[in-house]
Chain A
Amino acid sequence: MAKMTLEDLRKLRDERKKDLGRRDVEGKSVQIIVGMGTCGIAAGAKKTFDAILAAVEEFHLDKDVVIRQTGCMGLCYVEPTVEVAMPGMPATIYGKVDAAVAREIVQKHVVEKSLVENHIFDRPAADIIKR
């Protein structure tokens, strides 16, 4: 990306805001977001990330799913944490997601559209940045 002017920055922000609003990135409608702060990684977030990749492949979801990383959500006691956002399902945060649970999330939540019991947590605070 080349250096931006004020105009460029504003344009980029508007475009990206629309992307966030649409909830689909690069034409993919399912977002799986893994918490990869030090706490998450220490608790095994990298293995979780790999397990999600493998499960996405296994269920042939490559075309629909984008996997992203983010920082610490604050739920350090249930790391690794994973958020799933997709049409038709409430945005959900899962905690204590090891490789097995990761696969279960892809299968149950993404494919079968039902929540995975016992691993759901609430986002700890409302978002002050309104889109």
Chain B
Amino acid sequence: MAYKNFILVCGGTGCESSKADEIYKNLLAEAEAQGVKGEVQVVKTGCFGFCEKGPIVKVLPSESFYVEVKPSDAKEIISEQIVKGREVKRLLYKKEQQKDIVKLEDIEFYQKQFRIVLRNCGVINPENIEEYIARDGYAALEKVLFEMKPDDVIAELKTAGLRGRGGAGFPTWMKWDLTRKAAGDIKYVICNADEGDPGAYMDRSTIEGDPHSVLEAMTIAGYTIGSDKGFVYIRAEYPLAIERLKIAIAQSKAMGLLGDDILGSGFNFDIEIRLGAGAFVCGEETALMQSLEGKRGMPVPKPPFPAISGLWKKPTLINNVETYANVPVILTKGGSWFAKIGTEKSPGTKVFALTGKINNSGLVEVPMGTTLREIVFDIGGGIKDGKKFKGVQTGGPSGGIITEKDLDSPITYESLTALGSMMGSGGMIVMDEDDCVVDVSRFYMEFCVDESCGKCAPCRIGTNQMHSILTKISKSQGEMSDLDKLERIGKAMTKASLCLLGGSAANPTLSTLKHFRDEYLEHIQDRKCRAGKCKDLVVYSIDPEKCIGCGLCARRCPVNCITGEKKQAHVIDTSKCIKCGECFKVCKFNAVLKK
């Protein structure tokens, strides 16, 4: 007995709450009633990343994708598709006249995601170069070496409109062009794989899943700018990525795709790996090059830009992992293909590491111009445990928080900056009502205090001062004048710091001050933390009306500060309470109060 068809019913949280379960049961019953039980298997699946149009039902092998299915549709799906073999047209997903985000005619897809950078991740074996080659790997290099001049490569990148994915969004073609035109016979190509933004792991996953895409692009870059030497600067904390890079480099060398006289073209290029010790500042390009030279990783003033005077004072091209991973696709499919994806000023896709209080955390790659709402509520499947959405932090310690009211703005370099955040490298941390903005700002500031290289005073002293003020506020000692101080120090630091570590360290604080000023005021004036994160501002007590004296909280309390007779209301000794919140969590009668 083998099934001819499979019906997948979405059992994700989004669809489950909109009757997926009933649909599933009806499908089973209908299959039985119509006598096709042996021909079709009905199963529940995980979220399809399309909750907005849920409940979702997909039928295989025909790949019919049904949206907004109702329990009463089950009968027709079985009778039409399974019995008669015809799709139920009325339920099929019709591609809406997409905004200007995706205009690709040749690919049929319903998903919100579109994978260029991650095209091979999860598809090929990263330790086998032949699998990369089979998926058009090294076809771009082939084309470049034998059919294109350096200027053609730059022209193609210009048509594509690719911008740096390391955060700042500088046009990639311009960087390549500047480095190509810079005087000097020794030049270098660097791949920035430092990825220091907490919560971000796009670059790591790209290298782990598809190392050759980066190597191929770097070789193309070498040919274009006139360099025969590349370095991948990667943090030692990424052992698996490093291992896979090593394997990939060895395989490329053995096959003549790296080294002397590549593919018999006469072009030589070699790539070495350099390990970083995992300092955030070493992701900044000038500090990275200092570190690569064996010096202490500290930024140096720009100009001169790396394109003119970079590594060992030679013209140097430095790009991010994700920037490189786009390049082979642009060259094989053409710049105008790429330019059609995303928005006019921000073409292509962006990979985000979606984490925090979100149901479907993971790596997502979406066309630029996708809205945050689509990422959080469709692809991400919404907030965990049905809690209320509070904000998304993009750009990590250099970015800001984006709130409910801006969820519908399309993601581009410009729009995120206009919202007081930034694209950053792609960390995206989702916060819910249980996250406290003061606490979050303090966390990021602490990170910057630790990671500041200490070279310039605004950053070294500013981060410290802001951190101590934020700590003070969270410890119930805040004063109204503190808010003004935070803003003044923040602005000074933004203006006067040597590099963008200090230059953007104030962003998380300034942006929460702007969007959640009322919460700062609550901390200071009412001595209250509504999220209950700032322990010094929280008091736990037991409501004697509701407490039935089950004793569960008392047994759970790690410091034994809850007492009471059996079946009598219990009390918390607040002088001993360490505010771990366990009693609050375990109480089944909502009798523990958090204020």
Most A-side CB within 10 Å, residue of B120, B122, B138, B209: B122
CA distance A1 to B250 in the complex (A): 11
* B window 382-399: CB within 8 A of A: none
**Interface residue? B134 (CB, 8 A):** yes
Interface string of A85-114 (1 = CB under 8 A from B): 000101000010000000000000000011
How many Å lie between the Cα of A65 and that of B488 in the bound state?
65
- CB of B123 within 8 A of CB of A6, answer no
Specify which chain A residues have a CB less than 8 angstroms from the CB of B204 in the assembled complex: 38
B88 at the interface (CB under 8 A from A): no
Given contacts A1-B254, A74-B363, A90-B61, whether A124 and B113 have CB atoms under 8 Å apart is: yes
Which partner residue on chain A sits nearest B241 by CB separation?
A38
CA distance A129 to B134 in the complex (A): 10
A124 to B119, CA, bound (A): 11
Q: Which residues of A contact B568 (CB under 8 A)?
A: none
Tell me the complex Cα distance, A76–B114, Å. Answer: 17
Q: For residue B238, which residue of chain A has the nearest CB?
A: A38
Select A71's contact among B43, B58, B208, B259, beta carbons within 8 Å: B208
The reply to whether B121 and A77 contact each other, CB–CB distance below 8 Å, is: no
Whether A120 lies near B109 (C-beta < 8 A) is: no
Assess whether A128 is in contact with B329, with CB atoms less than 8 Å apart: yes
Taking the closest CB of chain A, its distance from the CB of B528, in whole angstroms, is: 33
Chain A, Cβ-Cβ closest to B253: A3
The reply to whether B124 and A70 form a contact with Cβ atoms under 8 Å apart is: yes
Asked whether A74 and B365 contact (CB < 8 A) given A17-B134, A128-B107, A129-B136, the answer is yes
Query: For residues 1 through 48 of chain A, which have their beta carbon under 8 Å from a beta carbon of chain B?
Result: 1-6, 9-10, 12-13, 16-17, 19-20, 35, 37-39, 41
Residue-wise, chain B 51-82 has the 8 Å CB interface mask toward A (1 for contact) of 00000001011000000000000000000000
Nearest residue in B to A78 (C-beta to C-beta)? B46
Interface class of chain A by DSSP? loop
Pick out which of these stretches binds chain A: B1-9, B409-417, B585-593.
B1-9
From the candidates B8, B130, B256, name the one contacting A3 in the complex (CB within 8 A): B256
Of A9, A20, A120, A131, which is within 8 A of B8 by CB? A120
A116, B138: Cα distance in complex, Å: 38
B510 CB within 8 Å of chain A? no
A6 and B264 form a contact (CB under 8 A): yes
Listed residue (B61, B123, B130, B365) with the most chain A CB atoms within 10 angstroms of its CB: B123
B142 interface residue (CB < 8 Å to A): yes
In the assembled complex, which residues on chain B have CB atoms less than 8 Å from the CB atom of A17? 134
CB contact under 8 A between A12 and B130, given known A74-B121, A115-B41: yes
Q: What is the bound-complex CA distance between A13 and B86, given in angstroms?
A: 38
Number of A residues contacting the other chain (C-beta, 8 Å)? 52
Query: Does B118 have its Cβ within 8 Å of any Cβ on chain A?
Result: yes
Interface membership of chain A positions 39-73, coded 1 if the CB is closer than 8 angstroms to chain B and 0 otherwise? 10100000000000000000000000000111111
Contact of A69 with B125 in the complex, beta carbons under 8 Å: yes
| Chain B proximity of A99: nearest CB distance (Å) | 20
Interchain CB contact under 8 A, B125 and A77:
no
How far is A129 from B140 in the complex, measured between Cα atoms in Å?
Answer: 13
Interface size class of B (residues with CB under 8 A): 35 or more
Please tell me if B421 contacts chain A, counting CB pairs below 8 Å: no
B324 at the interface (CB under 8 A from A): no
The residue that A76 contacts in the complex, of B2, B6, B255, B361, with Cβ under 8 A, is: B361
Q: Give the residues in chain A near B241, CB-CB below 8 Å.
A: 38
- Judge whether B209 and A126 touch: CB under 8 Å: no
Q: Verify A129–B205 contact, CB threshold 8 A.
A: no
Indicate whether A4 sits within 8 Å of B121 (C-beta atoms), given known contacts A76-B362, A124-B364. Answer: no
Q: Is B217 an interface residue (CB 8 A)?
A: no
Asked whether A9 and B49 contact (CB < 8 A) given A113-B2, A127-B119, the answer is: no
Min CB distance B545 to A, Å, is 40
Bound Cα distance from A38 to B205, whole angstroms: 8
- B127, A128: Cβ atoms under 8 Å? no
**Contact string, B188-224, partner A, CB cutoff 8 A, digits 1/0?**
0000000000000100110011100000000000000
| Smallest beta-carbon distance A26→chain B, Å | 13
Q: What 1/0 mask marks residues of chain B from 104 to 145 whose CB sits below 8 Å from any chain A CB? A: 000111010111101111111111001101111111001000
> B109 to chain A: which residues have CB within 8 Å?
125-126
Once the chains are docked, how many angstroms separate the CA of A116 from the CA of B20? 18
Contacts of A81 in B (CB 8 A): 122
Contact B361 A16 (CB under 8 A): no
Q: Which of A16, A38, A117, A118 contacts B240 (CB 8 A)?
A: A38
* Chain B residues within an 8 Å CB radius of A9: 133, 138, 142, 255, 257, 263
A1 to chain B, nearest CB (A): 5
Determine if B363 and A76 form an interchain contact, defined as CB atoms under 8 angstroms apart. Answer: yes
Nearest residue (CB) in B for A76 is B362
Residue from A78, A115, A116, A118 with most neighbouring chain B CB atoms (10 Å): A115
Asked whether A39 and B205 contact (CB < 8 A) given A71-B121, A74-B363, A113-B2, the answer is yes
B3 and A3 contacting across the interface, CB-CB below 8 Å: no
Question: A125 to B136, alpha carbons, bound, how many Å?
Answer: 18
A125 touches B365 (CB 8 A): yes
Given the complex of chains A and B, what is the CA–CA distance between A113 and B2 in angstroms? 6
Residues of B with C-beta under 8 A to A113: 2-3
Measured between C-beta atoms, what is the minimum distance from A2 to chain B in Å?
8
Residues of A within 8 A of B3 (CB): 113-114
A129, chain B: closest CB distance, angstroms: 5
B172 beta carbon closer than 8 Å to chain A: no
Report how far A20 CA is from B107 CA in the complex, Å: 20
Give CA–CA (A12, B43) in the complex, Å. Answer: 40
- A81 to B146: give the CA distance in the assembly, Å: 40
Most chain-B Cβ atoms within 10 A of its Cβ — which of A37, A68, A117? A37
> With the chains together, A10 CA to B58 CA distance in Å?
38
Q: State whether A124 touches B111 (Cβ < 8 A).
A: yes
Question: Who on chain A is nearest to B358 by CB?
Answer: A77
- Interface check B48, CB cutoff 8 A: yes
Of chain B, the residue at the smallest CB distance from A69 is B125
Bound-state CA distance A86–B41 (Å) is 17
On whether the beta carbons of A90 and B255 are closer than 8 Å, the reply is no
Report whether B210 and A122 are in contact in the complex, using a CB–CB cutoff of 8 Å.
no
List, sorted by A's number, 24 A–B pairs whose CB atoms are closer than 8 Å.
A1-B251, A3-B254, A12-B130, A17-B134, A19-B134, A37-B208, A39-B205, A70-B126, A74-B121, A76-B361, A76-B363, A78-B46, A88-B2, A114-B3, A117-B43, A117-B44, A118-B11, A122-B8, A124-B113, A124-B364, A126-B111, A126-B114, A127-B119, A129-B135
**What would 9 more interface pairs be, CB under 8 Å, given A70-B126, A75-B46, A116-B43?**
A6-B146, A13-B138, A37-B209, A69-B127, A77-B360, A81-B122, A113-B2, A122-B45, A128-B119
Top 3 closest pairs, chain A to chain B, by CB: A71-B209, A73-B122, A3-B256
